[in-house]
Amino acid sequence: MIRIGHGYDVHRLVQGRKLILGGVQIPFEKGLLGHSDADVLTHAIMDSLLGALALGDIGKHFPDTDEKYKGIDSLKLLAYVCDLISKNGYGIGNIDSTIICQRPKLSSYIESMRENIAKVCNVDISKVSVKATTEESLGFTGEGLGISVHSVCTLVKF
């Protein structure tokens, strides 16, 4: 039995925040705005994992009105989601994500993001794909107003 999940997330780029993607802090003049650490990649991945089992979304599991999630490392939330997936009798088949970001250039950080996610999900790195693209200066990502991420995953029944 295979289940497929999709996740999508957007965060605004602002001054005075850290830029964290897949648990990697990336040097840049701006960072992502959000209640947690605003790790948009990890958020989209969690939504794809939850979506695959129709378990809702991260807004339901980790409401941004809850003070305990303020500034939280999103990888900790991912660990919770992976635990939930496994309690429901499923394991991760694979994850494939695309970060849409005009600047900064992300290629040198991709491997570290994959390592972080694979480690938290307790899967081989070969099961975790992270890609980055630009939108050719078009739209809100192209204008550098924010970063968006699409993620899909498969879950396989134990």
Residues that bind Zn ion (CB under 5 A): 9, 43
Q: How far apart are CA 106 and CA 101, in angstroms?
A: 8
Residue type, 122: N
Comparing CB distances to Zn ion, the nearer of 43 and 127 is 43
CA distance 121 to 23: 13
Q: How far is the CB of 40 from Zn ion (least distance, A)?
A: 5
The CB-of-106 to Zn ion minimum distance in angstroms stands at 17
To Zn ion, the closest distance from the beta carbon of 63 in angstroms equals 12
Please give the residue whose beta carbon sits closest to Zn ion in the complex. Answer: 43
Q: What residues does 24 pair with on adjacent strands?
A: 21
Nearer to Zn ion, 9 or 26 (CB): 9
Pick between residue 91 and residue 98 the one whose CB is nearest to Zn ion: 98
**Least spacing, CB of residue 11 vs Zn ion, in Å:** 6
Nearer to Zn ion, 17 or 156 (CB): 17
What residue type is assigned to position 134 of the chain?
A: T
- The whole-angstrom separation of Cα 105 and Cα 26 is 10
Spatial distance between the Cα atoms of 78 and 81, rounded to a whole number of angstroms: 5
